[in-house]
Chains A and B, each alone.
Chain A
């Protein structure tokens, strides 16, 4: 698979701290990559470096497998931190400026305005926009010229629930057409809902990264309970894909091999005449996971 972005031991040192420390990652074409971390973990600094506005202390990055040049960024649509527009200009004039910089025809303005649902307000001045509209306009600007990559830094920050839902829908629709998306967020559910890959960072260091499902559902956990607890224990340990067992409250917490399915396990118990009173496949929630990983890093 094509690599869109490769980051190698990226470090940014400020006088008093390391904002980014030895960060390495690789992002494949077509993925929705979540950069997840609490506030101040170095997400924006990392994006600032790969977008050319912040200089790295050491380390490298490369877009599209090439040496970096500023014109590569014309193929990237980016929203970094805040929507940056001239408040005295209309939304349309602001988009014209972005289009000119990226070398995109003005015709594309109506298309991107349509996507973010701002077509009717294009001629209004940017300063009359609500926060949600400003954010949507920034996404529209990022979409100009059908970029191969979209970099979105906290795109739903400060929005009301409806605004958040709208932005997420936009992101999901864009990812369906094969655009690679890099999404920085401190909101766990956001990453869980829209990302295919994730890198969790804390204090500028990568704690864990990989496929969202691998990272989040690392363990195949099943809660199971029966009136005959001892018999259940005995039978369960004999299951072919059995890994570990733990007693927790009124049920047993069974860990299975990655390869074995919960359905097989439940069938196996039934054929062994166990009467199941409780059977839940437990997905470790991202929140639980997130707090766990970032707690003492």
Chain B
């Protein structure tokens, strides 16, 4: 296990596109989250100042979740490299089983999701501390959205992972990955319009793990009284998300094992 982590660490550490995309993601998310309170000027769309504790946990995870395309592309590039350089093949020749190879690559998913989540926590602490205000509760129930964000991140990345194992080529994988967003929108609004199934579509499930801090949205959230609301992650959705992650990983293992590399 430790060997597998260090293998992935060597590959990521020296990969310039990894650093460029990661730093870019960090800068953009810092900017987007930092600007969250300035968008609707003077209005009361926010129940609480969005950058104050503990609302910041909702704001940061919700904003950052819109930028999930960046780490997804990182994963697609990362997996695509293994096929482009034929190192997937070489790793199996050198003695990894095909299943172990997929698991070692999944470590990259976890490494990237962990780095980003830690960054979002630090960013939230910084912005929350900067915004001042009277703090009753630094973390509160809302901190659970960090867990939601982490599951969402691993979930979307697992989906990108599955696609890149399936299609091998980076370009095709990115097109399919982005294309699926449109497909799910069609499924959500047209095909399953009146069906409860639509709430269980994978990206919908992952999206529900972060929550917009806008008042209208909170109002509609099953009768919570806003001033002192306790809003926490929907753990049922989190469990469904975890199931989707398991499905993506299992399918990747299955596909890779059935194929000549």
A and B form one complex: yes
**Chain A contacts with B in 135-190, Cβ cutoff 8 A:** 141
In the complex with contacts A70-B95, A101-B3, A101-B96, A89-B10 CB distance below 8 A: yes
List of A residues within 8 angstroms of B94 by Cβ = 73-74, 78, 98, 101-102, 141
**Chain B contacts with A in 6-58, Cβ cutoff 8 A:** 6-7, 10-11, 14-16
Q: Which stretch, A52-60, A110-118, A285-293, touches the partner chain B? A: A52-60
B93 touches A80 (CB 8 A): yes
Which interface residue of B15, B87, B89, B90 has the most chain A CB atoms within 10 A?
A: B90
A97 touches B260 (CB 8 A): no
The interface size of chain B toward A, counting residues with CB under 8 Å, comes to 26
List of B residues within 8 angstroms of A55 by Cβ = 260
A103 interface residue (CB < 8 Å to B): yes
A53 touches B260 (CB 8 A): yes
Among B7, B100, B261, contact of A53 (Cβ-Cβ < 8 Å): B261
B232 interface residue (CB < 8 Å to A): no
Residue of B nearest to A87 (CB): B85
The docked-state distance in angstroms from the alpha carbon of A82 to that of B85 is 10
B10 touches A93 (CB 8 A): yes
List of A residues within 8 angstroms of B96 by Cβ = 70, 101
B95 touches A101 (CB 8 A): yes
B81 interface residue (CB < 8 Å to A): yes
Among B3, B100, B261, contact of A100 (Cβ-Cβ < 8 Å): B3
A96 interface residue (CB < 8 Å to B): yes
Residue of A nearest to B4 (CB): A100
Among B3, B14, B86, B260, contact of A54 (Cβ-Cβ < 8 Å): B260
Against B, the Cβ 8 Å flags (1 = close, 0 = not) of A43-82 are: 0000010011111000000000000011111101010101
Against A, the Cβ 8 Å flags (1 = close, 0 = not) of B53-82 are: 000000000000000000000000000010
B215 interface residue (CB < 8 Å to A): no
The docked-state distance in angstroms from the alpha carbon of A90 to that of B92 is 21
A77 to B: closest C-beta gap in Å: 9
A33 interface residue (CB < 8 Å to B): no
The docked-state distance in angstroms from the alpha carbon of A35 to that of B70 is 47
In the complex with contacts A84-B89, A86-B85, A70-B97 CB distance below 8 A: yes
The docked-state distance in angstroms from the alpha carbon of A82 to that of B93 is 12
A239 interface residue (CB < 8 Å to B): no
Among B7, B85, B98, contact of A84 (Cβ-Cβ < 8 Å): B85
B20 to A: closest C-beta gap in Å: 12
A279 interface residue (CB < 8 Å to B): no
A121 to B: closest C-beta gap in Å: 17
In the complex with contacts A48-B260, A55-B260, A103-B3, A86-B93 CB distance below 8 A: no
The docked-state distance in angstroms from the alpha carbon of A52 to that of B100 is 13
List of A residues within 8 angstroms of B10 by Cβ = 89, 93, 96-97, 100
The docked-state distance in angstroms from the alpha carbon of A70 to that of B81 is 23
Among A86, A98, A103, contact of B11 (Cβ-Cβ < 8 Å): A86
Against A, the Cβ 8 Å flags (1 = close, 0 = not) of B190-217 are: 0000000000000000000000000000
A97 touches B11 (CB 8 A): yes
A153 to B: closest C-beta gap in Å: 10
B85 touches A85 (CB 8 A): yes
In the complex with contacts A70-B96, A101-B91, A101-B94, A89-B86 CB distance below 8 A: no
A170 to B: closest C-beta gap in Å: 19
B14 touches A88 (CB 8 A): yes
A52 touches B92 (CB 8 A): yes
B14 touches A93 (CB 8 A): yes
List of B residues within 8 angstroms of A87 by Cβ = 85
The docked-state distance in angstroms from the alpha carbon of A48 to that of B4 is 23
Among A73, A80, A86, A102, contact of B89 (Cβ-Cβ < 8 Å): A80
B14 touches A84 (CB 8 A): no
Which interface residue of A74, A80, A90, A101 has the most chain B CB atoms within 10 A?
A: A101
Which interface residue of A48, A52, A73 has the most chain B CB atoms within 10 A?
A: A52
List of B residues within 8 angstroms of A78 by Cβ = 93-94
A84 touches B3 (CB 8 A): no
The docked-state distance in angstroms from the alpha carbon of A72 to that of B96 is 10
List of A residues within 8 angstroms of B86 by Cβ = 82, 84
List of B residues within 8 angstroms of A90 by Cβ = 14
The docked-state distance in angstroms from the alpha carbon of A55 to that of B258 is 9
The docked-state distance in angstroms from the alpha carbon of A54 to that of B6 is 27
List of B residues within 8 angstroms of A72 by Cβ = 95
The docked-state distance in angstroms from the alpha carbon of A98 to that of B10 is 11
Which interface residue of B4, B11, B89, B98 has the most chain A CB atoms within 10 A?
A: B89
Residue of A nearest to B91 (CB): A101
List of A residues within 8 angstroms of B91 by Cβ = 101
A89 touches B92 (CB 8 A): no
CB pairs A–B below 8 angstroms (6 shown): A70-B95, A74-B95, A78-B94, A86-B87, A89-B11, A97-B10
Residues in B lying within 8 Å of A, measured CB to CB: 3-4, 6-7, 10-11, 14-16, 81, 85-87, 89-98, 100, 260-261
8 new A-B contacts at CB < 8 Å, known A70-B98, A86-B85, A86-B87: A53-B89, A53-B260, A70-B95, A73-B93, A93-B14, A96-B10, A98-B90, A101-B96
